[in-house]
Structure 1
Amino acid sequence: MPDSVLRRLLVRHGADLVVPWWETLPERIASLAERWGVTTIEPIDRGNTAVLLRTDRGVLKLTPDERRSGEEAAALRLYAPTDRCVRLLDEVPGALRLEALRPVDRPITTGEAGRLVGALHAIEAPAGTPTLASRIDRIFDHATRRGTAWAHRRDQALALARRRGPAVLLHGDLHPGNLLLADRGLVVIDPTPFVGDPAWDLADLSRICTGDVDDLVGPTRASSEDVRAWARVFAADPGT
């Protein structure tokens, strides 16, 4: 397993949780391989929260945070009717088996991205889903630990999150790294759902897609102005 994977897990979860889990990881992988009939395993050097393994029966995702793994499985089942999210094939506490996808190797248009997000936002939020405003501190605390360029803009983010306006079920972490391709088209991975401003999910996409922001927001309930406001929060240079 690449050392870079362990370093990222330690930053995200802390040594108390990660170190004992890491020591038993080979046994966990062997047990899952037997359970799910996996015969080939290759590490994937990406992600901050889990170990990813490419296999002949999809991708295995293992994490020391069983609560988070369960929440992700629930989110994948919630989004399953849209067919715009990675498919969950199987699960046990702390581990998911997911369909294999491929990297995005072409430009993404604003219209395509808008239709994807619009389909996700059409799912009704279950009762008790947390709000965007309630998650801001957690998101910015993590950004501060990682030294992210926008981590000092917590107050601007809170002000945007608390405004009145349309509220939808958000993917929650919709950046370019969480977009992949399936035969059916563009799909998302790693949802962390909460309820809030639809523009939240479009901020990063507005910076990497080709086309006009109006085409991005068209299939959603977001406004172009709100997307630009969130994009300024997350920009390395807020003037861009």
Structure 2
Amino acid sequence: MQSVPFEASAIDSYPSRAAWDSAAAELVGVMLDRWHLTAGQPFVGGEAASVLRVTRADGSSAVLKVGFPHVEAIWEAVGLEGWGARLAPAVLDQDPWTWSLLLEDVQPGIPLLRYRVPAEDALRSAGRLYEVTSTRRIPDGLPTLQDSMRPVLDKAVSRLRQHVPLLGANGGVLEAGLEEFSRLLDISPRESFLHGDFNPGNIISSDRGWRVIDPKPMRGDAAFDLWPLVTQLGDPFGAPRPEEVLARQLRQVCAMTDVDLDRAARWAFARATLNVSWFLDDQDGRAALGALREATAWRAVSAA
């Protein structure tokens, strides 16, 4: 089918995640009826959607995803279709107004994060996948990295005055990271087809190899995409010197994907500091301290 961007006006219908949560069950019921689906087992772990396995009228299995409307995911269906069924679940149907997708039920569909394999092997699998997804033809109309992330950065910068004092002597880490973010947005390297959230939970197994799910697709610098993958595989922060583990893992993926190592390290530092800002916004001090530790390690990697 021809996928389209989700309807942006739906974002204004839900002023908060709690407002959408209260309507989600009804939305799922509407889509089950509309597409003649029988509900099956829900998937757990998703933060921005209700996702469940369903049976179609012809008896075949599929996955229903009803998403929480947010700016980053507007182009999700277009991204999935752009990669095609070899690299992502096939889009079987879409309702852009309710942010609903009927997707291929990929089997076994186990996230890379849950495979008990050495980090080096997992990074190799993910690197091979990213090398292909990032170089596919970029769908027409896909937003740029700059257009997508500049408003996010501006919001974080506007709150520096409140956030920096909360970090005490470490306030400079947040300031430096957001400054780096701004500098990187001003760089215009070759454009790639970005996933936007290329973490090992969004890479799933299939009988045709690894595939990506839950994209926040953009066009821009491929170096932006590698931070969550490298940070979340293995156990970098269980090591005495996490920056050494992060640097080694980043070198491996960059070598496989032909992504610039220096920019990838700088993007990792910048994105980690943005997480600090978000957790401070949420008044989650424990998470902010964890993100600060990560940002400090990535700062060391980017400066090496």
Say whether the fold is shared (TM-score over 0.5). Answer: yes
| Conserved 8 A contact 1:175-1:204 | yes
Question: For the structure 1 residues 64 and 224, does the alpha-carbon distance in structure 2 shift closer, same or farther, using more than 3 Å as the test?
Answer: closer
Tell me which of 165, 169, 174 is aligned to 2:193. Answer: 169
- 8 Å CA contact retained: 2:64, 2:102: yes
Identity score, percent: 26
Distance in 1 (CA, whole Å) between partners of 2:54 and 2:102 is 10
Aligned CA distance change for structure 1 residues 136 and 29 (closer, same or farther; 3 Å):
closer
* Secondary structure, aligned partner of 2:296: coil
Aligned counterpart in structure 1 of residue 205 of structure 2, from 181, 190, 212: 181
Report the RMSD for the aligned CA atoms in angstroms.
3.4
Q: C-alpha separation between the residues in 2 aligned to 1:127 and 1:188?
A: 20
**TM-score, normalized by length of structure 2?**
0.61
CA distance in 2: counterparts of 1:15 and 1:32, whole angstroms: 18
Distance 1:213 1:67, change over 3 A: closer
Pairing 1:1-240 to 2, within 5 Å after superposition: 15-16=14-15, 25-56=24-55, 57-63=61-67, 65=69, 71-80=75-84, 83-93=86-96, 94-100=99-105, 101-104=109-112, 105-106=114-115, 107=117, 108-140=121-153, 141=155, 153-209=177-233, 212-235=249-272, 236=291, 237=293, 238-240=295-297
Q: Which one is further off, 125-134 or 166-175?
A: 125-134
Higher helix content, 1 or 2: 2
Counterpart-to-counterpart distance in 1, 2:199 and 2:180 = 19
Give unmatched runs, 5+ long, in structure 2: 1-10, 56-60, 168-172, 235-247, 273-290, 298-304
TM-fit CA distance, 1:232: 2.0
Query: 2:180–2:266: 8 Å Cα contact kept in structure 1?
Result: no
- Structure 1 unaligned residues grouped into runs of 5+: 1-11
For normalisation by structure 1, the TM-score amounts to 0.75
Aligned residues: 225
Shift of 1:205: 1.6
Q: What letter corresponds to residue 93 of structure 2 in structure 1?
A: D
Q: 1:70 to 1:195 in 2, by over 3 A?
A: closer
Partner secondary structure for residue 185 of structure 1: coil
Question: Does the aligned pair in 1 maintain the 2:226–2:264 contact within 8 Å?
Answer: yes
Kindly provide the amino acid, as one letter, of the partner of residue 53 in structure 2. Answer: R
2:127 aligned partner, one-letter code: G
Q: Deviations over 1:167-203 (max 9, x none)?
A: 2121112123322222223221112222221111112
Query: C-alpha separation between the residues in 1 aligned to 2:219 and 2:210?
Result: 23
Deviations 1:90-120 (A, max 9, x none): 2223211123322332235322211111111
Residues 84, 14 of structure 1: CA spacing in aligned structure 2 closer, same or farther, 3 A cutoff?
same
Which structure has the larger Rg? Answer: 2
